[in-house]
Amino acid sequence: MTRKTTLVLIAALAAASLAAPGSARAERKSLLKDQPAVRHRMLLVRGRFEATPLFESSINADFKHTVSGGLKLEYHFSDMWSFGALGAYGSSINTGLSKRIISTLPGESVDPDPTPTAAEFTEHLNKMPIHGAAYVSLTPWYGKLAAFGKAFVNFDFYFQGGASFAQLKSLCRDQVCSDTMADDDPLTATDNDPNDDPPVNDGTRVGLYLGAGIHVFMNDFIALDLTVRDYLFKDNPSGLDFNGNGAVTEKDGRFLSHIFMGAGISIMLPAKVKRTK
Amino acid sequence: MLRRKRLWLVALAVSLVATGTGAAWAQDDDDMTFEPDDVSKPKEGEPAPEPGTEPGTEPEPEPEPEPTIDESKAGAQPEEKLGEKRVSWQDIVVVVRKPFLKNGRIELLPTWGVTMNDNIIQHVQFNGQLNYYLTDVLAVGVEGGLFVKNLREPFDLVARQARRLPTVNKYNYAAALNFHYVPVYGKFAIFDRKIIHWETFFTAGVGFTQSEVLPRDPAYLPFKNFLITPNVGASMRFFITRFLTVNVGIRDYVFVDKFEPVGRGPGMFESAADAKENADSSIINNVVFQAGLSFWFPMGFEYTTFR
């Protein structure tokens, strides 16, 4: 009986050993825990200065597209964080909507028809010759890709936020914008026709800036930089009465998105790239 | 005596089975770890690992070896031939397998989309795609979707400010037969911690769209158009699990749309048929941003090649 008990105990111990490896494993900590996802990684941005000649064009403008060229300067003080600024100088092109409207507008106004003449409509539109931003940038994703199984390139995604600025310009001649006393107060307003009011949509604007983009590295220090940027500030692109009070005033401006898509060539300095351990 | 011996044998067998099973479990465990004590001491008859290949410095989960060649050593090492016994560290796989196989699988992809390039009218697209992967990089599929219109600020603004009513069509539904090709494959790390695999694929296809005129004067009836619609696009796919991926992309649906004639009014093109007969045509690029989740069937897959 005693031997039987001993044997049963041995068998029980053996059975218990089935569970033992599991609990032992649970106590172990993986050597990979808290390790970086990639070792010996090329530090393509950390500690580097980035200079990017760029081109960008508006994609959501209602009346005038802005096509511009400029320069972006940025310093990457860590793998993920950087700060920088960009400025662009551009020229304006009428959108398809503007062209269609202008082609149907009359050359002379006829009272009491409130339709603007082609000159009134055209000269109230504003342009954006200069725009730019100062921002902080976060680069949370980096990686590499293979194209057609042949070309292997590094890339990263980044997101930016900061302040935007723009210089707006509108040029309405005196004979077109002749109502220099334009007012939305019915007691003092000279007339109820906004088409001859000054457009009040030029000057400097400051607002919010949001951006996102991708660097595709051609080599250790040159990258293709593809971006979408949104410059948000108060604007009245048509320069006509927006709020329906019969006059063009500052109150017709509203906070609008000015979305641009662009491309540039980033040059990273110093040219020599470091690696992680 | 014989019975006692048999009992001891049974106990010994149970012990052996228990030990053996534990070892098998350890081999099957995905979370298997190497303790420094396990591997730092070379076994008898096995050469010591070279400096730099110590186990503590080798926990690379995604090996991306940058080839470094020590020319002074290269000439001194004897050339290894097939059939020779190799040291264990040389058997480590340095190129990981693709984490997601698509060959022979069906993808069900519901997407939400929004038109990007029309500042008068915007459409929200609710779309569904069913694709079959002929190979890991080539698929054929069908799609169908409904559109919901949303008139934007300039639609009213142009009417109030310029006294012009925009000529606008809305889209009702569309369908297409598509081919997909995957030329770009990659991976990236998020915050230097988690690695995500992704790919880019191009789409080309042909189908139809139904558009409907929004009459400038609501007193007149609208008319509908059946439009042959080629499409091209590029999308990115991020692999989340073996049966789930996240897709984002841009598609350009191209068609020649027919719009309400400019002169439609009293005594002119009043009926829908007349207006359609004299409609103004224009080529339209309906560029749509799409995002969706893909569900893959069968929900799992097996590798058919060795690691």
Where are the domains positioned within chain A?
Answer: 41-270
CA-nearest residue of chain B to A1? B4
The candidate with the shortest Cα–Cα distance to A50, out of A166, A153, A129, A137, is A137
Q: Which of A40-49, A174-183, B133-142, B151-160 has the highest mean pLDDT?
A: B133-142
Q: Inspect the interface and report whether the beta carbons of B120 and A97 lie closer than 8 Å.
A: yes
Q: Is the pLDDT of residue B246 over 80?
A: yes
If you measure CA to CA, which chain A residue comes closest to B137?
A148
**A38–B62 C-beta distance less than 8 A:** yes
Chain A residues within an 8 Å CB radius of B22: 17-18, 20-21
pLDDT band for position A65 (cuts 50, 70, 90)? very high
Closest by Cβ to B189, choosing from A37, A244, A275: A37
Touching B: A residues 120-149, CB under 8 Å: 121, 140-149
Which chain A residues have a beta carbon less than 8 Å from that of B115?
A: none
Sorted by where each starts, the structural domains of chain B and their CATH numbers stand as 106-297 (2.40.160.20)
All residues of chain B having their beta carbon less than 8 Å from the beta carbon of residue A62 are: 119, 153-154, 157
8-state DSSP, A92 = E
The pLDDT of residue B126 = 98
Q: How far apart are CA B231 and CA B237, in angstroms?
A: 19
Give residue B47's pLDDT band: very low, low, confident or very high (50, 70, 90): very low
A34 versus A122: which is more confidently predicted? A122
Dihedral of alpha carbons B91, B92, B95, B96, sign? positive
A144 contacts on B by Cβ (under 8 Å): 64, 186-188
For residue B51, pLDDT beyond 80: no
Burial (CB count within 10 angstroms: exposed 0-12, middle 13-18, buried 19+), residue B33: middle
* Residue B38 three-state SS: helix
Q: Report d(CA A45, CA A51) in Å as an integer.
A: 12
Query: Do the beta carbons of residue B182 and residue B217 sit within 8 Å?
Result: no
The verdict on a CB contact (< 8 Å) between A114 and B154 is: no
pLDDT of residue B274: 94
Given a cut of 50, is residue B21 above it in pLDDT? no
Q: Which of chain A's residues have a Cβ under 8 Å away from the Cβ of B30?
A: none
Of A10, A61, A145, the CB nearest to B15: A10
| CATH domain A41-270 topology | Porin (2.40.160)
Query: Of all residues in chain A, what percent carry a pLDDT higher than 70?
Result: 87
B contacts of A41 (beta carbons < 8 Å)? 64
Asked if residue A224 has pLDDT above 70, the reply is: yes
Contact B167, B262 (CB under 8 A): yes
pLDDT at B8 over 70: no
Report, as an integer, the average pLDDT of A20-45: 66
pLDDT at B156 over 60: yes
Cα–Cα distance, A74 to A52 (Å, whole number): 9
Tokens (6 digits) for B97? 């397998």
3-state SS assignment for residue B1: coil
Q: What is the ipTM of this complex?
A: 0.73
User: In this predicted model, what pLDDT tens digit does every residue of B70-115 receive, in sequence order?
Assistant: 434 444 444 545 545 555 555 555 566 778 899 999 999 999 999 9
Q: Which of A32, A147, A275 sits opposite B59 (nearest CB)?
A: A32
Q: What is the pLDDT of residues A102-126, one digit of tens each?
A: 999 999 888 788 899 999 999 999 9
pLDDT digits (tens, 9 = 90+) for B100-112: 899 999 999 999 9
